[in-house]
Structure 1
Amino acid sequence: MTYTAEPEATPGELTPLADYLGSVLRRLGALPPLDLDLTQAYGNVLAEDVYAPHDYPAFDHAAIDGYAVRWEDLSCGARTRLNVVGDIGAASWRPVRLHPGACFSIAAGAALPVGADVVVPSDWTDRGMASVEIYQSPKRGYGLRRAGDEFPAGSLLARAGGDVSPALVAVLAATGIGHVVVRPSPRVVIIATGDELVDVGRVSQPGQVVDVSSHALTSAAVEAGALAYRVGICDDDPEALRGLLEDQVLRSDLIVTTGGTGNGPGDMVRRILSRRDGGRGAVNFTEVAVYPGAVLGFGTVGAEEVPVVCLPGDPGMAMVGFEVLVRPAIQLLAGAEPVFRPSVRGHLLETVSSPSGLREFRPAQVAERRGGGYTVQPLSGGPYTLAGLAEANGLLVLGERVTAAAAGSTVDVLLLHRRR
């Protein structure tokens, strides 16, 4: 596949990216929710708000090993000797009461005796067993946690649209939650097309091109939170492509193809998918005003009307197309909010030019400046986008009306975080 370094944009023929994205994303919705066991919910997106059914901590307990005492029994600025009337371990369950002049030896996590309002660390004592001498008096409330201190019953733990992270799993488990309602991770199938394609492990040569895009897109889909499946290479054979799509619609929530979106004699994807199959939907191929880029396809396939996105075969174009269209689609299907990458504004370190009439996404290195703000170092773009993407932690965005951005100017950058 050839790549044009400076594609020409004819006014009226290209669709603005914002218009195209709006028309596509409006056709997608979040997948139906599932009730999952807490241990299986990590990485999914919550489908509803989650509230604490119980207090956390569930009961008053010692936060440290030491002696549970009444603060009134401690002598301010002087040593205090108290009788040790028992030991309380973390597994102790019988309620006990603390009387004046007495204390309990207590383990971290053990329920506080009634009347205790401070835990003296063992290091501040002589560690006595029948009686204990306290060298230093802590403040009232030291060394203990009260019921509901962190999350009272009924408090909001997490909002719908947020990720289930390991820390949130801990919070949910601590408050007595064993199941949560989440959106399932979208199942995304990646298909590479083209007679010229060969699998990785060899070098491209005349008549053979290594399939780079489907491997990269599969990794990108996993990074976006999807369950991604690369099904391999499909030749430019209409019946083979139709059969492969029929096989995949039942196992996928989104199908992504790469290659065959042009109008050349071998561009079978566009030729086959743009036809309606018995009124069951078709894929529309649109020339979008984005650079690097080309024609993008979106529609549905099969009786189940599974969404399909068709990307160019060039790896750099495909990766930018993924960021522009596929990644937001995955986020929408997953119920994640927001669906777009976070962005910052930074000071450009080098003057760059950009093709007129196209919204350019150029790889960049973003760094925080001492004292606040960001700097943006542009990397290889255009026909060398793949090289730049390998080093980038951001995508510099230059609007359709920008033909040049001077060093020192302020620009928008999408941050390429490694997770949602």
Structure 2
Amino acid sequence: MNGTTDQTRHQDRVWSVAEHLDDVLSKIGPLDPIELQLLDAQGCVLVEDITVPVALPPFDNSSMDGYAVRAADVADATESAPAVLTVIGDVAAGSGELPGIGPGQAVRIMTGAPVPPGADAVVPVEWTDGGTGQGPADTMRAHSAAPQDAGGEVRVHRPAAAGAHIRARGSDVTEGEPALRAGTVLGPSQIGLLAAIGRGTVRVHPRPRVVVLSTGSELVQPGEVLGPGQIHDSNSFQLTAAARDAGAIAYRVGAVADDAETLRSTLEDQLIRADILVTSGGVSVGAYDVVKETLAALSAEEGTVEFRRLAMQPGKPQGFGLIGPDRIPLLALPGNPVSSYVSFELFVRPAIRALMGLPEVHRPTTPAKCTEAVASSPKGKRQFLRGSYDAEACTVTPVGGAGSHLIKAMAHANALIIVPEDTTEVPAGAEVDIVLLG
């Protein structure tokens, strides 16, 4: 008798948003590290410290198109009395054999080309006659023509100090210097650095694979004609897009009919490619809530999914558990579009980012003044209203009503307005906390 009473009390328990989220995150850790090609690692979290194997740049090179010279040879150069140097060759980017420069000599050099021995400065082509005997105004056109033969002359009209226009070896990073630390999220700049130091692969926590499916015999694929009592399946598209936005590799399975055996076999088929499963619909107390019926009947070997009531609006019914031999996390969300999306933002997105090993898994929150009054917020429930946030004015305006089916309002919102459990009304101009979306 006591066991039955305890079970009934457990089922009647109402969870807070924080309790449910804490329970989800307590059962999820970063995915095991793998070695990935650089572009495949974009958005992933680095799991190793990276040091620089070779200095960047690896050799002294020119930062300008111009002439490599000895600074002493052009120290007194002026417009009226230019330094006249003998051009002994050309050096392009990627050149291997470099001519040595002696007194009174110069080498035509391109941006990125190695500085030849003997040279300690680069004179930009604009400071010369381009080796044509003309003035500086004509040098850009002349320099773009075919290279001149060695033995010509160039007139330099301005002095260049030692080191001028030379990118010194190691001026970016030196050999053995730390490049990136473990825990770094790899964006375009970090991937560029890894490529520059010669790393073709890197060890990271991979992006999780998220499988999304919605349930309901009334759901029809977008693009198909609706029959009586049918609606287009929006949840699977919305949640798949949200999973990708969170950094995951997301697979949309689509709508599954209200049939327990079909749902069970679909889930079993998807376990092989899932790091997390997300369903929408069928989790409340209706006669045809197939998700709840199917997952609650799992054996101990198949896993356990618990269905709960949360003190929140929208999104009161939620399910969470670990299923399959590998105990893949499954989050069962309600079916109304707004309830489903809000639930994703609060619970699934943090779970995805925890699997990625990211240091911060939550959306940022910020205070803002609510421009309109909010009336009749349910006491004892944390309400999440759609809002339009103006960052410049630091204000937020409710968008649409509180109905969990109003998907258009969700599409025009960039924030969720949080109304705490003990607050039933928010006067216009009052400060509220908001969750920033996107």
Structure 1 match to 2:410: 389
1:362 aligns with 2:385: yes
Q: Deviations over 1:92-149 (max 9, x none)?
A: 1125443333222111111112343322111111011622222233454332211222
Structure 2 match to 1:42: 42
Q: Which stretches in structure 1 are left out of the alignment for 5+ residues?
A: 1-11
Q: Secondary structure at the match of 2:89?
A: strand
Q: Which stretches in structure 2 are left out of the alignment for 5+ residues?
A: 1-11, 132-147
Code of the aligned partner of 1:246: E
TM-score (norm 1): 0.88
Code of the aligned partner of 1:103: A
For 1:149 and 1:398, locate their aligned partners in 2 and report how far apart those are by CA, in whole Å.
53
For 1:82 and 1:66, locate their aligned partners in 2 and report how far apart those are by CA, in whole Å.
13
Q: Deviations over 1:176-219 (max 9, x none)?
A: 11110122221111121122222223576653232221121111
1:307 aligns with 2:348: no
Code of the aligned partner of 1:355: P
Q: Secondary structure at the match of 1:404?
A: coil
Structure 2 match to 1:380: 400
For 1:264 and 1:154, locate their aligned partners in 2 and report how far apart those are by CA, in whole Å.
64
Structure 2 match to 1:402: 423
Structure 2 match to 1:73: 73
For 1:173 and 1:362, locate their aligned partners in 2 and report how far apart those are by CA, in whole Å.
45
Structure 1 match to 2:436: 415
Whether the 8 Å contact between 1:62 and 1:144 is mirrored in structure 2 is yes
Code of the aligned partner of 1:70: R
Whether the 8 Å contact between 2:374 and 2:427 is mirrored in structure 1 is yes
Whether the 8 Å contact between 2:301 and 2:325 is mirrored in structure 1 is no
> Relative to 1, partners in 2 of residues 1:91 and 1:26: Cα closer, same or farther, differing over 3 Å?
same
1:191 aligns with 2:191: no
1:166 aligns with 2:188: yes
Structure 1 match to 2:252: 230
Code of the aligned partner of 1:368: A
Whether the 8 Å contact between 2:280 and 2:333 is mirrored in structure 1 is yes
Q: How does 1:335-374 map onto structure 2 within 5 Å? A: 335-353=357-375, 354-369=377-392, 374=394
For 1:223 and 1:28, locate their aligned partners in 2 and report how far apart those are by CA, in whole Å.
19
**What percent of counterpart residues are identical?**
40
Whether the 8 Å contact between 1:341 and 1:416 is mirrored in structure 2 is yes
Structure 1 match to 2:27: 27
Larger Rg: 2
- Report the RMSD for the aligned CA atoms in angstroms: 2.3
1:214 aligns with 2:236: yes
Q: How does 1:141-290 map onto structure 2 within 5 Å? A: 141-202=163-224, 207-290=229-312
> Relative to 1, partners in 2 of residues 1:377 and 1:141: Cα closer, same or farther, differing over 3 Å?
farther
Whether the 8 Å contact between 2:91 and 2:98 is mirrored in structure 1 is no
Number of matched pairs: 403
Code of the aligned partner of 1:357: G
Q: Secondary structure at the match of 2:253?
A: strand
Code of the aligned partner of 1:374: C
Q: Deviations over 1:391-412 (max 9, x none)?
A: 1222233332333334444333
For 1:198 and 1:285, locate their aligned partners in 2 and report how far apart those are by CA, in whole Å.
26
Structure 1 match to 2:159: 137
Code of the aligned partner of 2:246: A
CA drift at 1:25: 0.4
For 1:138 and 1:349, locate their aligned partners in 2 and report how far apart those are by CA, in whole Å.
62
Q: Secondary structure at the match of 1:335?
A: coil
1:86 aligns with 2:109: no
> Relative to 1, partners in 2 of residues 1:204 and 1:359: Cα closer, same or farther, differing over 3 Å?
farther
Whether the 8 Å contact between 2:75 and 2:160 is mirrored in structure 1 is no
Q: Which moved more, 1:288-297 or 1:91-100?
A: 91-100
Whether the 8 Å contact between 2:75 and 2:159 is mirrored in structure 1 is yes
> Relative to 1, partners in 2 of residues 1:67 and 1:374: Cα closer, same or farther, differing over 3 Å?
farther
CA drift at 1:77: 7.1
Whether the 8 Å contact between 1:47 and 1:335 is mirrored in structure 2 is no
For 2:239 and 2:14, locate their aligned partners in 1 and report how far apart those are by CA, in whole Å.
25
